Chain A
Amino acid sequence: MDARLAPFLSLLALMLLWSVAALLTQDPQVLPTPWGLVPRFAEEAASGELARHLSTTIFRVLWAFGLAMAFGVILGFVMGRYRGINRWLDPWLVVFLNLPALVVIVLCYLWIGLTEAAAIIAVTLNKVPNVATVIREGARALDPKLDAMAHVYRMGTVARLRHIILPQLAPFIAAAARSGVAIIWKIVLVVEFLGRSSGIGFQIHLYFQLFDVGMVLVYSLSFIAVMLLVEWVILQPWERKTNRWRTA
């Protein structure tokens, strides 16, 4: 069997499991069947509501993801390379790692207000410590022999960063990015649930109040589909490209 079919067959199996559970439940109000959602999905898509809320959430996810990765990579790299800085910043990292996402979100809304900036900052602050922790391990594992080689041959700072440091950090950046996207979109939903008037989280909040399980599933599954697309179209090909030298 073609190995590329495995992810699709796996998802098909999940749908099958869901269908069996829905048929056993026999109550579409509690758990509708997958095909029962199709007309409602089509309705939302045709009205333009689905696209509007989906794009708003994607916008927030992209901003928060970009900021969290940028700050987290720089912070993690500096902490991994310089023991003195790590000694000072490590307790902060532990505090922020253990600070519940909800607390950060509520505080950001209270301090900054119910604004777009507050929402994005709240999500970013929640993710930066995780990214920094992963990248710090990567920075600690950098090969000192390659450092020595770059020093002897007087490689420039940009060349060292691009050809020596980043390729070594690439698996760590990929791991942080993959877990980052997955966690960030979940936190964005909570942020939208609590204090925004648009986005998938807001719609889920709305249909939760109406106890409309079908629409909650339509919106959340639409976003999961987008994230699967990101995984297959962007993350996995990028990872394959950066790891080409291992498998060549």
Chain B
Amino acid sequence: MIQIRVEGKSFGALKVLGRIHLQIQAGERVALTGPSGIGKSTLLRIVAGLDQEFEGQITRPDSLAMVFQEPTLLPWRTALDNLKLVHPMLSTSQAASMLSRVGLEYKEDVFPLQLSLGQQRRLSLARAFSGNPDLLIMDEPYASLDKGTAQKMLALTQDLVKEHACSLLFVTHAVEEAEQLCSRTLTLTACPQGAQLS
């Protein structure tokens, strides 16, 4: 179970997040929506352990994966190495099979910059699932993709999340994406004491 107990988060005098208490059960898929700049990514960084300067406490599993707004790949390493270097326990055949699972068969030796943005995002997804995470955090992973590609990616993510039975915390602007992928949708709304869940 993932337990998020944020009492507050500020950047200097600016209070970004207020009191946010949230529990995510094992295997549960939770979407987080809200307007731009409300603090969704800040909350995700806190949950992922990337931002430790906040009031509160997070209980999260050890096995964690994150899909960032941008693919955030190692451009100087091949697609296969992007999986194997991040997950050293992964064998070459397992990595190749994961690439194939996300539709990147025969792309093992290709560098990320030779891939389209959609393919880079698939590689980023493959990296996330290669570690068999208990919790997957996704920060607007389909931003800047055309509608068709975003829909394909959404379907692929849905299948992979089901296969791996991991919990999901999914940040998006698009309510339809949230409804398709998640069983529960929460919205961050602005408050004088910092953003809160509604």
The interface of chain A, by Cβ under 8 A from chain B, is 145-146, 148-149, 151-153, 155, 159, 163-164, 167, 242, 244-246, 248
Query: Which chain A residue lies CB-closest to B75?
Result: A245
Q: A148-B72, A149-B68, A167-B76 given as contacts; is B111 within 8 A of A155 (CB)?
A: no
Q: Does B86 contact A (CB under 8 A)?
A: yes
The main secondary structure of chain B at its interface with chain A is loop
Q: A159-B85, A248-B111, A248-B113 given as contacts; is B64 within 8 A of A152 (CB)?
A: yes
Cα distance, A148 to B52, chains bound together (Å): 13
- Inside 8 A of A244's CB, which chain B residues have their CB? 111
- Inside 8 A of B45's CB, which chain A residues have their CB? 148
Cβ contact within 8 Å between B72 and A146: yes
**Contact count A vs B, C-beta below 8 Å:** 53
Q: Does B65 contact A (CB under 8 A)?
A: yes
- Within the complex, which residue of A145, A149, A248 is in contact with B114, where a contact is CB–CB below 8 Å? A248
Cα distance, A159 to B81, chains bound together (Å): 12
The interface of chain B, by Cβ under 8 A from chain A, is 45, 48-50, 64-66, 68, 70, 72, 74-77, 85-88, 110-111, 113-114, 127, 131, 137
- Inside 8 A of B110's CB, which chain A residues have their CB? 248
Cα distance, A9 to B186, chains bound together (Å): 69
Query: Which chain A residue lies CB-closest to B70?
Result: A145
Question: What are 5 residue pairs bridging A and B, where the CB atoms are less than 8 Å apart in the complex?
Answer: A149-B72, A151-B49, A152-B49, A245-B77, A245-B113
B60 to chain A, nearest CB (A): 11
Cα distance, A232 to B27, chains bound together (Å): 57
- Inside 8 A of B64's CB, which chain A residues have their CB? 152
Cβ contact within 8 Å between A146 and B114: no
Q: A245-B113, A248-B111 given as contacts; is B65 within 8 A of A152 (CB)?
A: yes
